[in-house]
Amino acid sequence: MDDRTVLIYDTTLRDGTQGEQVNFTAEEKLRVARRLDEFGIAYIEGGWPGSNPKDMRFFELARKVKFTTARLSAFGSTRRAHTPCAECPNVQALLEAQTPVVTIFGKSWDLHVREILKISMKENLSMIGETVAWLKAKKKEVIYDAEHFFDGYRANPRYALQTIEAAFASGADLVVLCDTNGGTLPSEIARVVDEVASRIPRERLGIHAHNDGGLAVANSLAAVEKGVRMVQGTVNGYGERCGNADLVPIMANLELKMAKRCLPEGALKELTRLSLFVGEIANITPLNSRPFVGRSAFAHKGGVHVHAVLKNPAAYEHLSPEVVGNKRRVLVSDLSGKSNIEYKAAEMGLSLGGDDAKSRRIVEEIKRMENEGYSFEAADGSLALIIRKATGEFEEPFYLECFRVINEKQGNEPSRSQALIKVIVGKDAEITAAEGNGPINALDNALRKALVKFYPELARMHLTDFKVSILEGSEGTAAKVRVFIESRDDKDIWSTIGVSESVIEASWHALVDSIQYKLSKDRLNRNGKEARKAVA
């Protein structure tokens, strides 16, 4: 192993699950572990056997899986005070997990020894050394996590050093310095690692940082700069309180900025997918501003920025988004210039024909609509319709003649809504009624029912999200509202927007845009296929 190699130790399945709203079943943990292994993570901490049945179940499932890259680790504490390792249930549970690696933690801070464990300083050292030696005798690779090391070193450096020396002298393969409370600065991390390195070789040290000071990534990288060999953390920074060190930017920075090797060749191109996969299993909404992999990480809004990016992306991007599996996005809003519009049109496969006047008209229309409360940053479907109408690529598929919505409530029964709608398609008029569990649902059902006989492809489209927000609350229930609708078919996902003082009318505008976008998209795809066939 050369000096460039850094070992990544993932503790998403244990430390990550201590974060609020993060919870995995044993089967979900196995799915995440397999994905981490495929990605190229060196160590995966599966959980704490003996602490709960779910973690024990995970290790039972994991024994049937052949991991190709990662070494699986079971996590636990040192032996209990005044209890031999052979009689300690915590230590026995680590062996029952049957993993090649065992990670144990012990106390480095004299405060914890005296006030939390309420044992002697000597007994704490014995607990550490004897547990490591006993596990090494069982042919395990042993990683020792020195809990609260930096707080302990700050309070009593002599004793903190004695605790990690006890682990190292007893055969620990790696000693990991933990900033458990997350309050240490990068400069102190660097200084302490230098001082520890006079006792324990740097290549046998690791770092485990928490993010309470917002510095977990910086602290981890500062430790690597001082020569530590292992970095522990979680995907997306999940973890207790403010979270653990986020392995996503850590791995990207190590590989791309620090000339370190922590992943197999080409793995970084899957970084964005890994982040999204773990977030999806955890049922946590992706953070758009997450560095490297967030939806906004390479998003450009200001017209000056977009103009520059079109000429040379390096002007406003620290690396190419494709390197980490992400993609560049150009947003359109009241801050946009014509460069934004031209980029978005090209992204949609539309040509403005180099017509600056047309681009400016689109910009002015967007600014006018945003002044009324529209926002197109997350409404790509509505934005596409505006551009397609301006380019002449849009044909109106239907017109509204009128609609009526009635909401009915009887006694304690759930309210029901009925919608009556009349639309014009070509030379045909269609009048349709439908019910729903609310006025918007009824209106959506009636509109689809009216149109599906003319456009059968609408049967393959459905709404996946519906959001209403108040634009300005001082008018109370008469305030203007903004409605976002997310729709999808078997190939695509898109969002549309409507704004009005009436939530029903705002929803209608968003519904119409959603269906119009679907029909327009399908027509352009058909025309493109026909054109390619003609050329062939």
Contacts 24+ apart (CB under 8 A), 531-535: none
Q: pLDDT: is 470 or 152 the higher one?
A: 152
Q: pLDDT: is 249 or 334 the higher one?
A: 249
Poorest-confidence range of 255-269, 328-342, 508-522?
328-342
Comparing C-alpha atoms, which of 214, 284, 296 is closest to residue 20?
284
pLDDT in tens, 459-474: 888 887 888 888 765 5
Task: Work out the burial of residue 391: count CB atoms within 10 Å of its CB; fewer than 13 is exposed, 13-18 middle, 19 or more buried.
Answer: middle
The pair of structure tokens assigned to 172 is: 């620990």
pLDDT at 148: 96
pLDDT in tens, 355-371: 667 777 777 777 777 77
* The CATH classification of domain 398-454, taken from the options 3.30.160, 3.30.70, 2.60.40, 1.10.533: 3.30.160
pLDDT in tens, 163-185: 999 999 999 999 999 999 999 99
The pair of structure tokens assigned to 415 is: 């309210």
Q: Average pLDDT for residues 505-530, to the nearest whole number?
A: 82
| Structural domain boundaries in the chain | 7-264, 299-389, 398-454
Task: Work out the burial of residue 476: count CB atoms within 10 Å of its CB; fewer than 13 is exposed, 13-18 middle, 19 or more buried.
Answer: exposed
Q: How far apart are CA 440 and CA 375, in angstroms?
A: 21
Comparing C-alpha atoms, which of 504, 511, 520 is closest to residue 486?
511
CB contact at 8 A, 234 and 246: yes
Specify the fold of 7-264.
TIM Barrel (3.20.20)
Contacts 24+ apart (CB under 8 A), 482-486: 482/373, 482/374, 482/375, 482/506, 483/507, 483/509, 483/510, 484/378, 484/379, 484/510, 485/510, 485/511, 485/513, 485/514
Q: How far apart are CA 258 and CA 269, in angstroms?
A: 17
**pLDDT above 90 (res 313):** no
pLDDT in tens, 5-41: 999 999 999 999 988 888 888 999 999 999 999 999 9
What pTM was computed for the model? 0.72
Q: How far apart are CA 526 and CA 218, in angstroms?
A: 51
Comparing C-alpha atoms, which of 250, 243, 198, 199 is closest to residue 225?
250
Comparing C-alpha atoms, which of 399, 401, 397 is closest to residue 388?
397
CB contact at 8 A, 508 and 481: no
| Residue 85 pLDDT grade (very low, low, confident, very high; cuts 50, 70, 90) | very high
Q: How far apart are CA 468 and CA 457, in angstroms?
A: 27
Poorest-confidence range of 147-161, 343-357, 499-513?
343-357
Average confidence score pLDDT of the chain:
87
**pLDDT above 60 (res 475):** no
Q: pLDDT: is 476 or 358 the higher one?
A: 358
Q: Average pLDDT for residues 240-248, to the nearest whole number?
A: 96
| Cα dist from 407 to 138, 191, 404, 442, 512, whole Å | 71, 69, 10, 10, 21
pLDDT at 97: 93
| Residue 190 pLDDT grade (very low, low, confident, very high; cuts 50, 70, 90) | very high
| Cα dist from 5 to 114, 172, 177, 229, whole Å | 38, 19, 18, 7
HEC letters along 373-428: CCCCCCCHHHHHHHHHHHHCCCCCCCEEEEEEEEEECCCCCCCEEEEEEEEEECCE
Residue with tokens 């705002």: 506
E strand segments, 234-346 = 299-300, 329-330
Q: Average pLDDT for residues 95-119, to the nearest whole number?
A: 94
| Residue 63 pLDDT grade (very low, low, confident, very high; cuts 50, 70, 90) | very high
pLDDT at 531: 47
